[in-house]
Chains A and B, each alone.
Chain A
Amino acid sequence: MSPLARMEMRTEGGAIVAVVAGEVDISNAADLGSALEGAVPQRALGLVLDLSEATYIDSAGIHLLFRLGGRLTRRRQQLRVVVPDGAPIRKIVTLAGLGWTVPHDRTVPEALTNLRAEVTPQLGEEAWVSAPDSPYYF
């Protein structure tokens, strides 16, 4: 079986932007979660998780987002999820009540703006962070 999901990360404006495409379910949620968590350096403002291209997410995936959000908050960072209105998983994310805990935005630039507004940089104004540039498969 080819991988269900593919993740690519980049650094943008002092934060990590991760794009997850494909399907997230119980078979890959845990791996995806630890990869995301490990990819966010202490100095980064937070993580913008772009789920525009995610075609499926189930409660295991939702649980991952809740947990990741909690962890980053404890590290004084923030998780912002990008789910456009037309995204396939939009309804699931809404039904699961993700918005109550994890803030979500419609686009990545919007998310980055909100992130910078809400999180104080820990090490100066423009913290230098970098993310691995090769894609992950799950």
Chain B
Amino acid sequence: MVDQGSMAPQGRARMPRLAFLRELFARADQSSQGADIETARKLVGMLWGLSAVLAAAFLALATPDVPLGDAGWPSAILIVLLSVAGARWVFSSELGFGQLLMISYLGLAQTALLQWLAGGAAPYRALFLLWLGSGVGVHSARRGALFIPAVVGFGSLPLLYSSAPHTGIGILTDAMVWVAIGLALLFLIERVRMQRAAMMSIERDARERAEEAVKKVRGLEAVADAALAHLPFDELLSELLARVSRVLEVEQAAILLHDEERECLTVRAARGPGAELARSKRVPMGAGIAGQVAIERRPVFAESEGVAGAPPSVVWENRVRSVLAVPLLVEGARVIGVLQVGTSEGRSFSEDDTQLLQLAADRLAVAIDRARLNEQAHHIAATLQRSLLPSSNPEVPGLELATRYQPGADGTQVGGDLYDIVPYSDGRVGLAIGDVVGRGIEAASLMGQIRNSLRAYAMEDDRPEQVVERLNLLMHHWQQDRIATLSYLVLDPRNGHVTFATAGHLPPLVLGPDGSASYLEGGEFVPLGVLPFGGYTAGEAVIKPGSTVLLYTDGLVEERGMSIDDGLDRLRDAIQRAPTDPDAMCDFLLAEVPPNGAAGDDVAILATRLVPVDLTRLDLKLPAEPESLALMRRALERWLGTIGVPEDIAYELKVACGEACMNAVEHAYPPGDATFEVHAVNLGTGVEIVVRDFGFWRPPRAGSDRGRGLELMKRLTDSMKVVPGSEGTTVHLAKAVRKDGYARPDVERRHQVAGLEAPRR
């Protein structure tokens, strides 16, 4: 069996390729290649144990007392026992390949010793075969090959002492069999071993590649996680940055977005050391790595000094040594920003790293694009909403008005908040705020209807409770299943008188000039659309000059789980800390009060400040259009009344000033946003009024009403002067005011000014 099996591989190996042989023996340090030491130890140990057992068995075949006489048996038994002990020791030892080879030589010597003790009579050749296996099987070809002559040598020892007959042929055959078996084993094992080594290296490579791939996939998963899509935009950016940093093991990461107006990149999100400083920093196109990436539209890696000696990153300045940046591309070519990562230690990024970062960038670009679309949708909704709200606040003399509408954060949905300002021709102003229950286009359209109806009713009737009552009937009749809350408040800037009616809405809040705040009480009834009949009443109050009336919707104060009273207390506390300017006040309240910050419900605010009258002067700047004249009259009435000018003189001044303003309006070049100015000064003994326009003075034609206007001005004042100029015309009017009577007693004094009240229905 052995003979047959040995010849074939030997012939195959030797004949075709000498190169293989050379290669086989050239390897010096491959004793361990393809074999593992533990298996080798077990193999050698087993062989030793097996040879001990076989040797013990062979002892019975030939009595070991030939050369030593009586000491033969004990020696042989001692050797066998030592072999068993040695085998056990090898099994559990930490021996290296060299020591195992020594043991194989030792085993060979031991077998030869036993054979000598047995007088060469027993079949010890089998044991040699075992040790041959251990010698060439365990070791590399180079070391194992030496073992073959050793086996041949030890195996031939019986020639020296054996009494058995020997033939030259027999001995040669023996030796050749040993050599053949040895070589066959050698080549066979070496071949297996090389294949195994090759397989192991393939396996190792594959494992490494697999690990790389897993890492990459994990990274891809991390940045492509669908759950990210539900995050708000800014959170998405910072979460992606965190994941990119983790996967790429970098300290710093930043997202820069392209600002088309300024032609630069703005840092939108950053993390890692220096992030605070980096945030909202601007990087010109072409500057630093980010700018370079944005222009070249390809990933750029830079280390230490970066491009052209500048710090590698404008974003991180000197806090970074290695920077990798990739463009954020949409539609394949448009750069909307740059994603960059950096480390403070020198580091190179692999192709995989770059690919991963680019993938994150692509993902980011899509998210940013989508977020922009969302923002657009939101913008459209908000625009629709705004189209239902007054586009600008009217000028109301004596009042400063500010309004805010803040759409709810969740949405592309239109909210149902409404506010409106209705100026009355007598100088009073109606302030409305309301909230339609529900959201969406339906709520918005109802809001539009309520707003128009409110205006119509307000024009007909200036009593708030009547306006609200009519709206209620309208709602109940036409919008059976809809409910809305509303507050309507009419404020007279001349005396601070306030009338209001509330339909299920939150109470108006008044901030006094002394900084104290209180809610207006009274005038409350159920929301619009609840009851088929009326019952709305008016509440009344008088507010001091310098006070602010605040109307608002529940989004400002309501939060689930919090009582509305807590919200109202919160608002009252906040308004006492707020700036008095209505615009600033609105901003302050929006920032301070809503319980959920920007994430809550829609909020509408209307702040109206009753401006204290400056007793020394009045300055107005009004658009040069006929409608401004009434505004001028309201402002002048209020001012003249406050400084104590008797009503009839005030009336004459009002008419005279009205004539001057009419001239100004006529002089203005239509169309356009020309203005005119009215400056009135309290002289103590009288009043001087200057009306300026910025057009050309045109002399009145005889008999025209403008001639009549000049005549009226002249007659109603003590002095009147028209000064035409290249940049406009100035009309000076002056009239004395005597405290005890009229400036010009010669003019008929019979008539009594019935009052400046406008017609009330």
Query: Interface residues, chain A, CB within 8 Å of chain B?
Result: 1-4, 6, 21-23, 25-27, 53, 55-56, 58-60, 62-63, 66, 85-88, 90-92, 94-96, 137
Contacts and interface: CB of A to CB of B under 8 A. Distances in A.
B758 A59 contact: no
Nearest to A25: B629
Given A22-B425, A63-B705, A91-B652, A58 B662 contact: yes
11 contacts: A1-B630, A2-B425, A26-B626, A55-B757, A56-B655, A58-B662, A59-B709, A88-B651, A88-B754, A91-B747, A95-B711
Given A23-B425, A88-B651, A55 B756 contact: yes
Contacts of B651: 88, 91
B708 A25 contact: no
B716 interface: yes
Rank and list the top 10 A-B pairs by shortest CB-CB distance, nearest first.
A63-B705, A27-B626, A59-B709, A21-B759, A4-B425, A59-B708, A2-B424, A26-B626, A1-B423, A90-B751
Contact of A85 (B459, B655, B751): B751
Nearest to A92: B655
Given A1-B423, A1-B425, A96-B708, 20 more contacts: A1-B630, A2-B424, A4-B630, A6-B759, A26-B665, A27-B627, A53-B759, A55-B756, A55-B758, A56-B654, A58-B662, A58-B712, A59-B709, A59-B712, A60-B662, A63-B708, A85-B751, A87-B751, A88-B753, A95-B712
B interface residue count range (under 10 / 10 to 19 / 20 to 34 / 35 or more): 35 or more
Nearest to B705: A63
Nearest to A62: B708
A2 B422 contact: yes
B748 A2 contact: no
Contacts of A137: 459
A1 B751 contact: no
Contact of B662 (A3, A26, A96): A26
Nearest to A61: B705
B715 A95 contact: yes
A60 B652 contact: no
A56 B633 contact: yes
A97 B425 CA distance: 28
B658 interface: yes
B497 to A, nearest CB: 17
B735 to A, nearest CB: 14
B750 interface: yes
Contacts of B751: 85-88, 90-91
B394 interface: yes
A1 B753 contact: no
A53 B715 CA distance: 24
Contact of B712 (A2, A6, A25, A96): A96
A87 B754 contact: yes
Contact of B658 (A25, A63, A87): A25
A23 B31 CA distance: 117
B420 interface: no
Nearest to B395: A1
A83 B459 CA distance: 27
Contacts of A94: 748
B424 A25 contact: no
Q: Which of B423, B630, B655 has the most CB of A within 10 A?
A: B655
Contacts of B659: 58-59
B517 to A, nearest CB: 30
Contact of A27 (B424, B629, B753, B756): B629
Contacts of A62: 705, 708, 712
A27 B630 contact: yes
A53 B756 CA distance: 11
A25 B747 contact: no
Given A22-B425, A26-B662, A86-B751, A58 B758 contact: no
Given A2-B422, A2-B423, A59-B706, A25 B626 contact: yes
B402 interface: no
Contacts of B163: none
Nearest to B423: A1
Nearest to B665: A26
B716 A3 contact: no
B730 to A, nearest CB: 19
Contacts of A85: 750-751
Interface string B61-101: 00000000000000000000000000000000000000000
A86 B757 CA distance: 15
B638 to A, nearest CB: 15
Interface string B724-761: 00000000000000000000000110111110111100
A90 B748 CA distance: 10
Nearest to B757: A55
Q: Which of B422, B708, B750 has the most CB of A within 10 A?
A: B708
Nearest to A138: B425
Contact of B759 (A1, A25, A55): A55
A62 B708 CA distance: 8
Contacts of A56: 633, 654-655, 658
Contacts of B458: 2
Q: Which of B394, B665, B748, B754 has the most CB of A within 10 A?
A: B754
B714 to A, nearest CB: 10
Contacts of A86: 751-752, 754
Interface string B638-668: 0000000000000110110011001001000
Given A2-B459, A6-B759, A96-B711, A91 B748 contact: yes
A58 B713 CA distance: 10
Contacts of B715: 95
A27 B624 CA distance: 12
Nearest to A67: B705
Contact of B758 (A23, A25, A90, A92): A23
Contacts of B652: 91
Contacts of A88: 651, 751, 753-754
Given A58-B659, A86-B752, A91-B747, A22 B709 contact: no
A97 B752 CA distance: 20
Given A22-B758, A53-B759, A85-B751, A3 B658 contact: no
Nearest to B709: A59
Contacts of A66: 705
Nearest to B714: A95
Nearest to A58: B658
Contacts of B655: 56, 58, 92
B693 to A, nearest CB: 14
A22 B652 CA distance: 17
B627 A1 contact: yes
A53 B705 CA distance: 23
A85 B752 CA distance: 8
Contacts of A90: 751
Contacts of B706: 59
B322 to A, nearest CB: 67
A61 to B, nearest CB: 9
A53 B758 CA distance: 9
Interface in B401-449: 422-425
Contacts of B747: 91
Contacts of A23: 425, 630, 633, 758
Contacts of B422: 2
Contacts of B633: 23, 56
Nearest to B716: A95
A65 B567 CA distance: 59
Contacts of A6: 759
A3 B712 contact: no
